[in-house]
Amino acid sequence: MVVESIVVQTAAKITLVLLALAVLLAFIRLLAGPSQADRIVALDLISVLIVAILAALSIYRQQRAFLDVAIAYALIAFLGTVALARFRERLARSGRIDEHQEEIDQ
Amino acid sequence: MTQYFVAFFMIAGGVFCFVAGLGMLRLPDTIIRMHAATKAGALGSGLMFLALALFYMDLSTTLRAFAAILFILFTAPVAAHLIGRAAYCTRVRLWDKTWIDELAYTCDWTEPEQDD
């Protein structure tokens, strides 16, 4: 049973605006972040925010299918974050990346 | 009555997600920024799925929403741990006021690994 109400619709609109602002703030950090680890953290936050956007959109459009999309996207985003972090750590372990060294080189 | 709970949980989740974005922009350090990304982000999207479970009051949707909450709560610490270790081992610059460093010898690889 789906409750049609103006309260839920208004709350969904406010929530979508807040989530869009949050994605914008995280995207500024993604562009500006001084190290690559900052960019990985910003990408992780953006994927979590996209999952929240999909849940809010499911309420706003009253479509249950968005929930499955959100679950599948959360799984794939977790795999992507783990892959990026492992790649980064392996580069560090083989001594090919050092943030201080990058700063010195710049 | 249910609609007010749905609206409350949705707006609370949106506010927590906005705080997560704000912390991502404003906090001073990579390791400290991960607090905003994982704690506030996971709480915000968990509240959003709770609102979704209250909104459609049927069994299959509610079960999937709670499975999504459990999945987020299981994967967020793992991802944060991996990113944090990678960030620490590439020696990102810590905050000026950081005075305790419990991992000081963790990433001191004297001989590189041979597996790759």
Residue A64: which of B61, B78, B87 has the nearest Cβ?
B61
The HSE-up count of residue A14 (CA atoms within 13 Å, CB side) is: 17
**Cα–Cα distance, B116 to B110 (Å, whole number):** 16
**Could you give the CA distance from residue B87 to residue B93 in angstroms, rounded to a whole number?**
9
Distance set, CA B59 to CA A5, A53, A70, A101 (Å): 21, 22, 18, 55
- Yes or no, beta carbons of B7 and A36 under 8 Å apart: no
- Nearest Cβ partner for B52 among A18, A44, A58: A58
Mean pLDDT by 10 residues, chain B (116 residues): 91 95 91 89 94 92 94 92 84 75 63 52
pTM attached to this predicted model: 0.86
B57 CB neighbour count, 10 Å cutoff? 12
The answer to whether the CB of A3 falls within 8 A of the CB of B3 is: yes
Residue B112's pLDDT is: 52
Q: Is A9 on the interface with B (CB under 8 A)?
A: no
Q: What residues of chain A, 19 to 78, have a C-beta less than 8 Å from chain B?
A: 19, 21-26, 28-29, 33-38, 40-42, 44-45, 48-49, 51-52, 55-56, 58-59, 64, 67-68, 70-71, 74-75, 78
Q: Could you report the per-residue pLDDT of A64-97, keeping only the tens digit for each? A: 999 999 999 999 999 999 999 888 888 777 766 6
- Nearest by CB to A64, from B8, B56, B76: name it: B56
Residue B56 pairs in a beta bridge with A2
The Cα–Cα gap between B34 and B77 comes to 10
Residue A32: count of CB within 10 angstroms of its CB: 11
